[in-house]
Structure 1
């Protein structure tokens, strides 16, 4: 993930508050599985970046195997070539074969020479655990496509070589109707200490608090019914605090992840995140390791996501 949502005070004031469900069922997400996925992702021989395409291929193969095991009815690679080298997205589908789709995605590459446990191992682990839970559902009410993207990180960020750009462009070219898109970007670092949550504008701590104990749903103005509905359902379902940021699309930073490419093709999209470097000091550092993550709360974030996508109105 890049330097995320440098928001204006106005943007945040228009979407204040946090909510957690007052009554929640027993957790569904398996923290042992989340841990194992993260061990695989962070334990590659070299960092999973574009300089090591063989490593990225091995990670893509691992993701594909897990998605098939989860019970997706269609798992496919989406290969494309950059600078003479082949990279690939991995997609999986659940629910009906036709009708408008919900896209949920996470990038599996890292920036530079770091393990990338939170950025973005947690997003991918969440995606795989969501796949397992969806595979156990007797009925998925509409089509849900899960996508693991390659090449989100520099030097490809904001270029047509991003895996999410390739995927979004392919949907547009094929005329595929899309209900909306959710980008899973850094979801596993939490800190309950005062002062652990930073903001680009210091007064925001008086609105949202100084403790890094929540997840955020970020979206742009004009995102339509999808963004409002997703945020509402997610906040109602979550057993951990959820805070919503909404801002104009022109504000620098509001689009710093894969969801920006769906906006480019006029698809509604939101970002689900732990706020990245505003909380996690190990962002893009060698210290971004599994040991620093809170897998219990990562699991709660996955549980809320499952409840939200199953509650989405047709």
Structure 2
């Protein structure tokens, strides 16, 4: 059961100490919180360092698969920009990963490993997820949560996508973005959603509009990855600002997104 109240509690805890940026206090507090939450589920947390600084770290936990070396990964970045507590960007995504881990921990032994990845360095050109690529198999695929908690009566849309899709007027949907190689992930996720969705398969000429999160290193390496997002600053006026706070989010909406991810991962790991 994915509960909105639990998602909110995670976001409040992650934002309580301010921005999760470089040497600010929010970094050790956030890393400790994530580690404690995953460890409390009985999962062993692995630290992936990609630099010498405290903030240059990924936290990874997994449910080991039985018959395959490949994995299905659910990912989110834990870091923020310098001036924002980052409730939507991206404590909402981290909260979603933590609650998905809770829902999946008691699953029957999957054929494929289910891996939970909390990346650092997304705000620094995907440093954490880029380093992670050297540690995974070629067929490992991922679902990336990048801001999943904000809804609004107003929605903007990238000019580059004019003519490709009919832009929604209201920000009440979750966008599912894949490249042409990752369409299967998108199709599976859509089947399990019970909140409004905007599925987008980006042709090569339109890829640049979505090259802003941790799915990018997967795409660049030829791996399948699905970006799951509330569209960031195309919807959320608090993006990268100090008022991106826990009380601004729609946790029932976020819960619906996480439920679909759990069902999709369960199916993919069989």
TM-score, length of structure 2 as denominator length: 0.91
Match of 1:130 among 92, 100, 107: 100
Within 5 Å, give how 1:1-314 maps onto structure 2.
28-44=1-17, 46-52=18-24, 55-72=26-43, 74-82=44-52, 87-96=56-65, 98-153=68-123, 156-157=124-125, 162-171=127-136, 176-191=137-152, 193=153, 196-201=154-159, 207-221=166-180, 223=181, 227-249=182-204, 251-312=207-268
User: What is the CA distance between 1:313 and its match in structure 2?
Assistant: 7.0
TM-score, length of structure 1 as denominator length: 0.79
**2 CA distance for matches of 1:61 and 1:118?**
20
**3-state SS, counterpart of residue 48 of structure 1:** coil
Per-residue CA deviations over 1:170-225 (Å, capped at 9, x if unaligned) read: 32xxxx2433111110000012x3xx11112295698132011111111112x1xx
**3-state SS, counterpart of residue 56 of structure 2:** strand
User: What is the CA distance between 1:249 and its match in structure 2?
Assistant: 4.2
**2 CA distance for matches of 1:116 and 1:37?**
12
- Structure with greater Cα Rg: 1
Seen in structure 2, the aligned counterparts of structure 1 residues 180 and 141 have a Cα distance that, compared at 3 Å, is: same
Write out the 4+ residue segments of structure 1 that deviate beyond 6 Å after TM superposition: none
**Structure 2 stretches lacking a partner, 5+ long:** none
Contact preservation (8 Å) 1:31, 1:295 = yes
Higher relative contact order (CA 8 A, sep 6+): 1
**2 CA distance for matches of 1:92 and 1:122?**
18
Contact preservation (8 Å) 1:238, 1:304 = yes
Report which of the two has the higher share of helix.
2
Per-residue CA deviations over 1:205-252 (Å, capped at 9, x if unaligned) read: 98132011111111112x1xxx22221221111110111112234532
User: What is the CA distance between 1:309 and its match in structure 2?
Assistant: 1.0
Contact preservation (8 Å) 2:22, 2:55 = no
**1 CA distance for matches of 2:142 and 2:225?**
4
**Structure 1 stretches lacking a partner, 5+ long:** 1-27
